[in-house]
Amino acid sequence: MKTISLNGVWNLLGQPQESNSGEKISLTANVPGCVQLDLSREGYLPEDLYMGMNITETEKFEDFEWWYERSFSAPEEKENVYLVFEGVDCVAEYYLNGRLFGESENMLIAHEFRVDDYLVDGENILTVHIKAPCVENHYLNYTVSNMLSWDNGALETGLRRAPHTYGWDIMPRAVTSGLWRDVKLEARDKIYFKQLYMRGSGNLCNAFFELECDWADFKDVEIVFKGSCGEDSTFEHTVKLPKYGKASGKAKKTDIVIPNAKKWWPYGYGEPNVYDATASIYSEGVLVHEAKTSFGLRTIELDRTEATDGISGQFRFLVNGVEIMCKGSNWVPLDAFHCRDKERYPEALALVKDIGCNILRCWGGNVYEDHEFYDFCDRNGIMIWQDFGMACRLYPEDDRYKRLIEEEATAVVRKLRHHPSIILWSGDNEIDQLLSNFTDPNNNSLTREVLPKVVRLNDIRRPYLASSPYYSKEFYENKSKGLVAPEGHVWGPRDYFKSDFYKNDKSHFISETGYHGCPDMESIKKFITPEKIWPYQDNEEWNLHSSDQQNRDNRTMLMHKQVAQLFGDVPTDPEDYIYASQISQAEAKKYFIERMRSGRPKKTGIIWWNLLDGWPQMSDAVVDYYFNKKIAYRYIKRSQSPFTIVATEIQNWRMAFKACNDTLKDLKGHCVIKDAETEEIIFDGDFYAPKNQSTQFFSTIMYYSAHKMLIIEWEIDGEKGMNHYLCGYPPFDLKKYKELADKYGI
């Protein structure tokens, strides 16, 4: 197969979609790219769209339609030629040499078109006409239910675009348009794989394949599979496909026995072994096509109950039959302009590994990430909880929309299913929770009919969850009895992080929870204009960069209140305020993670919100848009280590200490616990930490009135570790906290 990239510089023409008298704009465009960045580069929009209020300037182009155009040379062989658009935002028509050859209306998946009959010798002119999403939404029909959402938004649900682009509490409004992923011309082989899917467990790989070819070309076909994981586990397997008879057919499953098979494990539990494989197609003894893929050998099970009282229920993942304590982050948009996502992958994914995540939840308000993301997670043992692209809205359930969702989900599942890191398909984000305020969410045909059918028909033995959190029929009908869903999003009043709301939460698995922290001043100066840097009260730039598009100060002042809660007084000096907010966030995230770890076996996982900002803002992220780490980053890194020692909350006058061992090895070591201020030794002794559990090894008398910072140090087989714990109720002394933190390097 020959591939010609059509990335690069295109011509771009834009004008208001329904106004002949409107301004026409002619400029060049980068592909992959989006028109907002092209407009910024050419001076129609501010140079830095993230500075101050500049992002709001993009709204004046929301009703523009755009024409992308470029020329290319036709391949010599004009048979089986496809134009492939990996990402088009969003409603588009495609022309080759002035002739319409295709249409699409989904930003989130690739679109391909066979163009043999449209090509001419020599130069060909390719044009993509992209319509204005706001105008297209205007002419769609909506039901009353579509008008229900967490923030009373409705208009955007009719198109298949990244939900956050219309504005979210973590992202600005930036209604993008453009060719945001690769464009290429493919001259395909006469026989190639329409589908190729390898997966397995134990020592057995199931290989599924479907060929694409004309009947006349289907002659004496053989498929040869070769693969390896390291040098000591290799395989080769041949499948013959006669044209006639019992063994004939273009689509089959074949089982491959793998010698010295190696399992895939999540981080902390073993090696994330990945097999690299090649599938070669031979026709009449001649190699006609070759495809590369990868897979892992592992089983995955979601063990859950429909509801829980916090004790008798369950929500846990088992990989290879072993319960995994899940610790990680929600994965949210890497950038408001998704054409820039790929360039942020290396640094962003390095953070995931460094901070010790063994799971990421790909949140439903985002785009679907590309193979580089999942390849990294495959090879680093990072499990993926994958939402389908719906969030916090009630989406249409008419025939058109069901068809769009089915096409999208089929494309996504077929593209990504070979990745062993993906452990769950989830229907959406928080739509069950939203629906339950009005009606039974189990009547949602998108997540109860369309999506499970797609998963069932296109994947095998991978769990599906209808929503996050999922409100089953049993739970919905009995939630008035004090039961909760076993997996929860723990947000609530966003008050003190140890309030009753948090410490009494009954969820066995928390898939969202967070706490605000301010970026460093170095970063703030990059996106707040000098005259607006301080104070933050009554400050439209701070409000906008707290991702409120209506100049409300709720989220700006939320961080203020969280600082006031922990330290009593709110510093008036900017640097002191930033430090106090970051400590407030760090202690909260640390508490959330350690509460779940120490709560085993009834607590089985936490996916906190979130690792990295997708635009410059005041937020729950622990790394800002410019990749500067907040204090919470290093607190989380310690709290998420496969082994750590944590303190539990006071009960019956006593505080307990637990060794949290999320590995498959029994561990022994020595621990010293001391008062950070007085250096009084509270414990000095050995401990034993059985594999894959949290075990109490010491307790001591402790008063709620005590304002202490405890330092916990240990050594296991010559390897040292450290943690700390803040005892007592607020307010705490900010100056003293900083002195002790600096003294011990926490």
**C-alpha to C-alpha distances, 120 to 78, 84, 185, 471, nearest whole angstrom:** 9, 18, 14, 56
Instruction: Supply the pLDDT for residue 682.
Output: 97
C-alpha span between 310 and 603 (Å, rounded): 9
pLDDT of 417-449, one tens digit each?
Answer: 999 999 999 999 999 999 998 899 999 999 999
- Single out the residue of 467, 579, 570, 567 nearest to residue 520, CA to CA: 579
C-alpha span between 173 and 635 (Å, rounded): 32
Strands 251-257 and 275-283: unpaired
Residue type, 392: C
Stretch (H or E) spanning 208: strand 204-213
- Whether the Cβ atoms of residue 356 and residue 327 lie closer than 8 Å to each other: yes
Strand order in the sheet with 719-726: 681-689, 667-675, 709-716, 719-726
**C-alpha to C-alpha distances, 602 to 359, 483, 505, 661, nearest whole angstrom:** 19, 15, 12, 15
Mean pLDDT of 725-730: 94
* CB contact burial 546-557 (16+ within 10 A = b; e otherwise): bbbbeeebebbb
Instruction: Supply the pLDDT for residue 149.
Output: 72
Mean pLDDT of 606-619: 98
- Whether the Cβ atoms of residue 72 and residue 123 lie closer than 8 Å to each other: yes
Residue type, 394: L
- Whether the Cβ atoms of residue 534 and residue 630 lie closer than 8 Å to each other: no
Strands 643-647 and 654-661: antiparallel
Strands 99-105 and 221-228: unpaired
Residue 422 in tokens: 């993906």
* H runs (alpha helix) in 355-458: 371-380, 399-416, 431-435, 445, 451-458
Task: Tell the CATH topology of 643-744.
Answer: Immunoglobulin-like (2.60.40)
Mean pLDDT of 291-298: 98
Mean pLDDT of 585-613: 98
Average pLDDT score, the chain: 95
C-alpha span between 726 and 707 (Å, rounded): 7
Instruction: Supply the pLDDT for residue 406.
Output: 98
- Whether the Cβ atoms of residue 502 and residue 490 lie closer than 8 Å to each other: yes
Backbone angles phi, psi at 266, to 5 degrees: -70, 160
- For residue 146, pLDDT over 90 is answered with no
Task: Tell the CATH topology of 191-295.
Answer: Immunoglobulin-like (2.60.40)
Instruction: Supply the pLDDT for residue 152.
Output: 62
All CATH 2.60.40.10 domain ranges in the chain, comma separated: 191-295
Token look-up 């070819």 returns 213
pLDDT of 23-68, one tens digit each?
Answer: 899 999 999 999 999 999 999 999 999 999 999 999 999 999 999 9
Instruction: Supply the pLDDT for residue 503.
Output: 93
Mean pLDDT of 511-533: 97
- Single out the residue of 600, 607, 602 nearest to residue 690, CA to CA: 600
- For residue 705, pLDDT over 70 is answered with yes
- Single out the residue of 75, 74, 82 nearest to residue 183, CA to CA: 82
All CATH 2.60.40.1930 domain ranges in the chain, comma separated: 643-744
Instruction: Supply the pLDDT for residue 249.
Output: 86
- Give the confidence band of 155 by pLDDT, cuts at 50, 70, 90: low
- For residue 154, pLDDT over 70 is answered with no
Token look-up 């929301």 returns 62
SS3 of residue 585 by DSSP: helix
All CATH 2.60.120.260 domain ranges in the chain, comma separated: 2-187
Token look-up 């082994």 returns 643
- Single out the residue of 662, 633, 620, 624 nearest to residue 330, CA to CA: 620
Look at 150-159, 307-316, 508-517, 715-724 and tell me which has the smallest mean pLDDT: 150-159
Residue type, 175: V
Mean pLDDT of 555-574: 96
For residue 662, the tally of other CB atoms under 10 A from its CB is 27
**C-alpha to C-alpha distances, 141 to 136, 156, 160, 441, 482, nearest whole angstrom:** 11, 11, 15, 22, 39
- For residue 150, pLDDT over 80 is answered with no
C-alpha span between 124 and 75 (Å, rounded): 10
Strands 204-213 and 191-201: antiparallel
CA torsion angle 325 275 219 117 (round to 10): 70
Strands 64-73 and 251-257: unpaired
* CB contact burial 16-50 (16+ within 10 A = b; e otherwise): bbeeeeeeebeeebbbbbbbbbbbbeeebbbeebb
**C-alpha to C-alpha distances, 481 to 308, 313, 578, 728, nearest whole angstrom:** 10, 14, 43, 33
pLDDT of 450-481, one tens digit each?
Answer: 999 999 999 989 999 999 999 999 899 887 78
Burial grade of 448 (CB within 10 A; 0-12, 13-18, 19 or more): middle
- Give the confidence band of 153 by pLDDT, cuts at 50, 70, 90: low
Task: Tell the CATH topology of 2-187.
Answer: Jelly Rolls (2.60.120)
